[in-house]
């Protein structure tokens, strides 16, 4: 790296110093919360809290029937599929192809690798913690893997928040950037809640999934902000700067 390039790098870093510090502090705080939550789960301290919420979502005279009208259960079942591997794989693949065709290959490849490694991290955490699925209430959908953290909550947070954060960088207007980010957060939240309603995850599984997924997306955004150009090479605009 030449002296001019070095000065340019530090100048850009300095320009975003407050945002960088806030982001790093958020990551550190999130890691602390995730560590404490994992510790409490392993010690069994959260079971009463989890049990109370799961039972509150079922009818007292028949735990196999969730509260609310019949259409709500059907809607929740549809919502939870948005966090499935099939839907998320299709979404990630299509967005990656779109960005490649739009000649934004650095951010396209970064999005693809960020989501893929986030999924691997989710699987690794499940294996390490090895928490069984809840048996407090009957499950409303079939599940077979481990419980903590919620794969749907974490993987949907990883995918939708990462896609939202990185795609927002490609948008020209602030309003569209805010909408893309808000849509990612909204989808991650309702998918996580659907897993609790269906009885296939403890609430703490979902909280941990949200926390881990948000941390992953935040870290990916921070890396991309510094090192990955968001625009095509011939756009004639500077990296990450919108008008």
Q: Which residues pair with 25 in a beta bridge?
A: none
The encoded tokens of residue 24 equal: 């790093």
* Residues 202/149, Cβ–Cβ less than 8 Å: no
The number of angstroms, rounded, from the C-alpha of 182 to the middle of its chain's C-alpha atoms is 12
Per-residue DSSP letters for 148-191?
SS-HHHHHHIIIIIHHHHHHHTT-SSHHHHHHHHHHHHHHHHHH
On the CB side of 76, how many CA atoms lie within 13 Å of its CA?
A: 21
> What does DSSP assign to residue 231?
S
Terminal-to-terminal C-alpha distance of the chain: 29
CA dihedral of residues 84, 145, 120, 193 (deg, nearest 10) = 50
Q: Prior bond to 80 cis, omega within 30?
A: no
- Cα distances from 26 to residues 22, 33, 37, 201, in angstroms, run 6, 10, 16, 26
Active site residues: 152, 201
SS3 63: strand
Contacts of 176 (CB under 8 A, 6+ apart): 168
On the CB side of 47, how many CA atoms lie within 13 Å of its CA?
A: 10
């Amino acid at each position: 790296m030449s002296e001019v390039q070095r000065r340019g790098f530090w100048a850009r870093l300095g320009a975003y110093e407050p945002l960088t510090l806030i982001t790093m502090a958020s990551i550190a705080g999130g890691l602390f919360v995730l560590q404490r939550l994992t510790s409490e789960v392993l010690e069994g301290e959260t079971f009463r809290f989890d049990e109370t919420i799961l039972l509150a979502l079922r009818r007292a005279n028949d735990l196999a029937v969730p509260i609310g009208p019949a259409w709500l259960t059907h809607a929740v079942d549809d919502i939870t599929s948005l966090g499935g591997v099939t839907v998320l794989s299709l979404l990630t693949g299509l967005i990656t192809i779109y960005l490649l065709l739009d000649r934004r290959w650095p951010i396209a490849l970064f999005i693809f690798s960020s989501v893929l490694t986030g999924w691997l991290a989710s699987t690794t955490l499940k294996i390490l913690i090895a928490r069984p699925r809840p048996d407090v209430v009957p499950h409303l959908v079939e599940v077979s893997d481990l419980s903590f953290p919620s794969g749907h909550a974490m993987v949907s947070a990883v995918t939708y928040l990462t896609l939202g954060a990185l795609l927002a960088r490609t948008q020209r207007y602030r309003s569209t950037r805010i909408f893309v980010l808000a849509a990612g957060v909204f989808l991650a939240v309702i998918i996580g809640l659907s897993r609790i309603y269906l009885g296939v995850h403890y609430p703490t599984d979902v909280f941990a999934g949200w926390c881990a997924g948000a941390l992953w997306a935040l870290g990916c955004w921070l890396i991309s902000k510094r090192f990955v150009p968001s625009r095509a090479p011939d756009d004639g605009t500077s990296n990450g700067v919108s008008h």
